[in-house]
Amino acid sequence: MPDNKHYEKAKTYWNNLLRDYTSMARFPNDYFKDDTGKFSMIQKEIKKATYSSLLSFCDSNKLSLDSVLDTVFAIVLQRFSCEDDIVFAKNKIHLPIRVNPSSRDMRFTDLARDIMRQTSDSMEYYYYMISSEGHLNSLNDKLINTAFYFDVFADRCSSTIKEKDLDLYMKVSLTKGMSIKLMYKPSYYDKVTARSIIYLFKHIINQIIAKPKIRLRDIKNIKDVHKDIYIGSQRDNKFSFDRNLSYIDLFRDQVRRTPDKIAVSDEFSSMTYKEVDELTDKVAGYFNHIGIGVGSTVAVLQVRTKNVVLAAISILKSGAIFFPIDRTNPDERVGYLLEDGEVDLVLTCRELGPRVKEKHSKYKYLNLDHWDRIEKQYEISQKSGPKDIAYRISTSGTTGRPKCISIRQESLMNMCHFAIDYIGANENDVCGIYLSFSFDAIVKQIFPYLLIGASVDVLPEESRKNEYTVEDYCKKKGVTILALPAILRKLFVNNCPCDGLKVLQVGGDKFKGYTNRNYKIYNEYGPAEFTVLCSQFYVDKYYELVPVGRPIYNTEAYILDKNSNLCAVGMPGELCLSGIQISEGYSNRPELNEGSFVCNPFAHDDDTRLMYRTGDLAKIIDESGNIAVLGRMDSQIKINGIRIELFEIENMINMLAEVKNAVVVAKEDQNGDKYLDAYIVAYDKSFDGSRVLDFLKQNLPPHMIPRHILSLESMPVTPIGKVDKKALPPIY
């Protein structure tokens, strides 16, 4: 045992090395199943020529082979964890190695030298780490769950970490050439992810051999040939349509085909295609007459009736921009939206007209209930082109100011064509409009189906109370297509067989689970900035995390790392979108546009000139290119220096059969210390929240356990159906 002086020196060394590192670098889970303790294995060989070249690389750069391999593994872990600052265990002695490059301009060889020096220094003081104090401070807190083995040190020391405590580890041996074994727990990781880890490890070795002075930022995640294949596959979804034909052109064609079929309805009445066409012609002509046309923005502030659909058609016919605003928004927010959206006219109703007149008097307004007072048939004198704006929508959110987004005619048309085709919609379908009229997805419910002779039906407010009232209305009106927000979809799928329903569309948040129904379930993804719908996935079985599918017609999706390099299959990165459906950007927000709408490094035509950075963390999950959205790039929070993913806690709570829904929020006490609170909605009101707490303590580390758990009868929601975290009650 070293003397006290040397022991204190060792303690200081490790405290300095691991200072402020209170998290855990890990390969992100594919699954959240119970840990069985069992490992699966994938083994790959390194070619003799590659091994020989690697030895030459080490010799010429005066680097040890183990330090080079440590560095390769560290970069793999950095790329998969989306973190620069990582710690992993080295060899069977489980020596902690911390890697945090000073910059992405750093050369691979410089990082390898840093790791080589750190290893040498750490070995001198390793005895402290296996002492009770060192182990308690650094290892029991689960700072390490990943290891890399290259047995240079041949078990000279023992370790207090056992392999069973790890989630994943890699072994490189030189027994017969160079062999790589990856051991991973199948309860946490998919085989596709495991293969991708080994793929990247081998690919980095090949890159440093080919370019010994390569910088970290220039290390690619996939081979050029695979990059070309992937980029090429993005262009396989081309769909040709006449961009000079506007939405209204195709709508008029449909009117001629099915004039007497029901086009629009609500709880009170319905209108045929011919009736809708005649009325909206009259209104559109009046708009042009009073100076509303191409470039004008018309806001629609209405109660839930078919008049909203009629307003949308009228506005597009006049060449103007359709801008729906939900009536449940407070006046201050409505005022901001009217200003930011550069509104020229507000279409309202008898119920809301006085509110507009009193609170927003500087704007011209027209009562939709008085359309019959337009006596003269004015000529429609304006028409929008493919590059003109069709609609404007505001981003959702409960805090801060919303952002207005403008979508072109050609983008809307592309979305409509795909929305019809992928579910096989036809003239016998009825689309039930449940969603809020301020929710961007509403345009996917209003517009596509009126181009094929189907009808759209607006659900009244009283039928939106819960899953059972929704089901009752759908049965009554013969609804065959329905879209629901995240807050309601789980309850509806679990509890409502809904005879007659053909398609249920879900999305907006991560969707987990599956219940077999007669209707088809499609998980959809698409930000408002990209015309609502950019991918869809047919859910035909249980998934731990349901994919969002592949890009739709004339659009492309890329998963990029921090250096804007394409990610390999199974590797998380930022989801970026390009193609015909990209928006015009945020109105009056040039500083936001600069960071979100950027030049596309994979551009090949005018449609793909720009790329939208979604801020969503995603990965490709299979060779078919299906994508799974994992969360937001900024969804991690820090509490006492520890990185925490809120979704991971929510996911764990939702595993309890008694829980309908759960949300976890970060809060701050009077001392400025952050902590977690959880809110749950249970099927049984008598369900005890302490059961949740006990379950979490069994499955999560202490820093991920909420301070309080409160049971609610229902979650407060925003107008678009997302959980309104701002409205959650305080917990004392």
Q: Residue 398: which pLDDT band, with cuts at 50, 70 and 90?
A: very low
User: How many residues in the chain?
Assistant: 732
Q: Report pLDDT digits (tens) over 638-690.
A: 565 455 768 778 878 888 888 888 889 888 776 666 789 999 998 888 887 78
Closest CA to 414 of 269, 556, 310: 556
According to DSSP, the residues that pair with 636 across neighbouring strands are: 645
Mean pLDDT of 295-318: 95
What is the C-alpha to C-alpha distance for residues 531 and 582, in angstroms, rounded to an integer? 7
Give the C-alpha separation, 530 to 666, whole Å. Answer: 30
- The pLDDT value recorded for residue 421 is 97
Q: Measure the CA–CA gap between 219 and 221, rounded to whole angstroms.
A: 7
Per-residue pLDDT at 156: 45
- For position 350, what pLDDT does the model report? 87
Of the candidates 108, 107, 67, which has an alpha carbon nearest to the alpha carbon of residue 91? 67
* Model pLDDT, residue 236: 84
142 pLDDT higher than 70: no
Q: What's the whole-number average pLDDT of the chain?
A: 88
Indicate if the pLDDT at residue 28 is higher than 50.
yes
What mean pLDDT comes out for the span 89-94?
Answer: 85
| Residue 661: exposure state from Cβ atoms within 10 A (0-12, 13-18, ≥19) | buried
Question: What are 229's two structure tokens?
Answer: 């294949």
For residue range 619-642, list pLDDT tens digits in order: 999 888 999 998 777 656 656 545
Q: What is the CA radius of gyration of the chain?
A: 29
Predicted confidence (pLDDT) at residue 140 exceeds the cutoff of 80 = no
Q: How many CB atoms lie within 10 A of CB 279?
A: 18
Give the whole-angstrom CA distance, residue 709 versus residue 697. Answer: 13
The predicted-structure confidence for 425-468, as pLDDT tens digits, reads as follows 999 999 999 988 877 888 999 999 999 999 999 999 999 989 99
Looking at residue 354, what is its pLDDT?
Answer: 86
Q: Whole-angstrom Cα distance, residue 712 to residue 691?
A: 15
Residue with tokens 């990247």: 200
Q: What tokens appear for 154 in the block?
A: 């041949």
The 10 Å Cβ neighbour count of residue 246 is: 23
Q: In terms of pLDDT, which residue wins out, 423 or 662? A: 423
Q: Strand, coil or helix: what is 409? A: helix
Q: Which of 26-30, 118-122, 136-140, 688-692 is predicted least confidently?
A: 136-140
pLDDT recorded at residue 164? 78
How confident is the model at residue 641, as a pLDDT?
A: 46
| CA distance to 133, 305, 476, 528, per residue, from 412 (Å) | 63, 23, 31, 12
Give the span between the Cα atoms of 456 and 458, in whole angstroms.
Answer: 7
- Residue 623's closest CA among 569, 567, 546, 562? 569
Buried b (16+ CB within 10 A) or exposed e, 98-118: bbebeeeeebbbbbbbbbbeb
Cα gap 433→484, rounded to integer Å: 9
Q: What are the tens digits of pLDDT across the range 701-725?
A: 677 889 999 999 888 876 555 677 7
Instruction: Please give the pLDDT value at position 717.
Output: 74
Which of the four pLDDT bands, split at 50, 70 and 90, describes residue 2? Answer: low
pLDDT above 50 for 139: no
Rounded CA gap, 50 and 209, in Å?
A: 8
| Distance linking the first and last C-alpha atoms of the chain | 51
pLDDT over threshold 50, residue 477: yes
Contact 138, 14 (CB under 8 A): yes
Residue-wise pLDDT for 156-177, tens only, equals 444 555 777 788 999 999 877 8
91 pLDDT exceeds 90?
Answer: no
Tell me the mean pLDDT in the region 254-272.
97
Please check the confidence at residue 334 and state whether its pLDDT lies above 90: no
pTM confidence score: 0.84
What pLDDT shows up at residue 545?
78
